[in-house]
Amino acid sequence: MTLDFYTNPMSRGQIARWALEETGAPYNEHIISYGPEMKGEAYLAINPMGKVPALKHNGAVVTEAAAICAYLASAFPQSGLAPSAEESADYHRWMFFAAGPMESAISFHSAGFKPTKEQTATFGFGSYEMILDVVKEKLSRDSYACGERFAMADVYLGSQIGFGTQFGTLPKEDVFTAYIERLANRDAFKKAKARDAALIAEMQASKSD
């Protein structure tokens, strides 16, 4: 079994690292720097988008942080993070919601774009306000994406909410803070974040040398 993880600590690679740590599977880490290395021939052969994260498992490449989360949950069923039959609807619904409409709404909103009433009907994300209401209502009803049990969908949904509240692209509502606190208690979360923080510190130290 070979598991190669391509990332930069200051990226959505943090989501994939958390997912990897949740599986407990050993992996080889490849730090890809922004700029020429990420846009160079060798890395483009792995991800033609020239973006991180990417994963190579036994030779097969998976890109897109959400797809990496979902892939890992099914590739390592012993981690118990794939959904049961009863959880499957919620799992897929919230994973895709977070990766598609929610991410688009946050990006457009933070870029200052406000869709017209007509555009909210044709844009898949509707509007930032709609997304916010829907996800707040969900998390005031349930502790996790699939109800009362943590699943891999929470790595992705929780990361969107965590980054959003951290960078100010989502409001620091109590319902979000409480969800993030539940997730941040996980050993895999702590291990993943500690590794990325150490790499960021190393990068910053080498810049100031």
Ligand X SMILES: N[C@@H](CCC(=O)N[C@@H](CS)C(=O)NCC(=O)O)C(=O)O
Query: What are the tokens at 100?
Result: 């598609």
Q: How many residues does the chain have?
A: 209
* Shortest Å, Cβ 61 to ligand X: 12
* Shortest Å, Cβ 178 to ligand X: 25
Q: Computed over its alpha carbons, how large is the radius of gyration of the chain?
A: 17
Q: Are 156 and 146 in contact (CB under 8 A)?
A: no
* Shortest Å, Cβ 34 to ligand X: 6
Distance CA 143, CA 151 (A): 11
Please identify, using beta-carbon distances, which residue of 104 and 120 lies nearer to ligand X: 104
* Shortest Å, Cβ 64 to ligand X: 5
Which parts of this chain interact with ligand X (CB under 6 A)? Answer: 11-12, 34, 38, 50-53, 64-65
Distance CA 128, CA 112 (A): 11
Please identify, using beta-carbon distances, which residue of 50 and 80 lies nearer to ligand X: 50
Please identify, using beta-carbon distances, which residue of 53 and 83 lies nearer to ligand X: 53
Give the DSSP per-residue string, 139-155.
Answer: HHH-SBTTBSS--HHHH
Q: Are 27 and 20 in contact (CB under 8 A)?
A: yes
Q: Which residue is nearest to ligand X (CB)?
A: 51
Please identify, using beta-carbon distances, which residue of 6 and 144 lies nearer to ligand X: 6
